[in-house]
């Protein structure tokens, strides 16, 4: 399919919709995981969050990037939306 013509979502098969849905869900999950590592608020009078080790942060960032790339690949392959 030409990249100058974006495919309508009405033309998607159930499998294509599922692939796009999973790619979006994976990206959201990776984002939430990284957010939990870097943006956790302390609970007053309860506990102070420990900083995540650098290797854990690096792995979470890598997973976020991987899932973003997978989503953009799905958009390109299924919807013909160029990166």
Map out the domains of the chain as residue ranges: 11-40+49-79
Residue reference for tokens 């399919």 = 1
Distance of CA 79 to the CA centre of its chain: 17
7-17 residue pLDDT tens: 888 889 999 99
Q: What is the token pair recorded at 48?
A: 């102070």
In this predicted model, what pLDDT tens digit does every residue of 22-60 receive, in sequence order? 999 999 999 999 999 998 777 788 777 788 999 999 999
Rounded-to-integer distance, Cα 45 and Cα 47, Å: 6
Do residues 3 and 80 make contact, with C-beta atoms less than 8 angstroms apart?
yes
Q: How confident is the model at residue 2 (pLDDT cuts 50, 70, 90)?
A: very low
Choosing among 1.10.287, 1.10.357, 1.20.5, 3.30.70, the CATH entry for 11-40+49-79 is 1.10.287
Six token digits for residue 37: 């590592």
Question: Using CA atoms, how far apart are residues 83 and 79, in angstroms rounded to an integer?
Answer: 11
For position 80, what pLDDT does the model report? Answer: 86
Structure pTM? 0.81
pLDDT for 65 beyond 50: yes
């Amino acid at each position: 399919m030409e990249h100058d013509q974006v495919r309508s979502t009405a033309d998607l098969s159930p499998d294509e919709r599922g692939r796009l849905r999973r790619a979006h869900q994976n990206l959201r999950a990776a984002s939430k995981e990284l957010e939990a590592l870097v943006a956790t608020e302390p609970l007053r009078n309860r506990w102070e969050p420990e900083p995540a080790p650098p290797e854990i942060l690096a792995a979470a960032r890598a997973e976020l990037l991987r899932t973003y790339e997978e989503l953009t690949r799905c958009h390109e392959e299924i919807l013909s939306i160029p990166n």
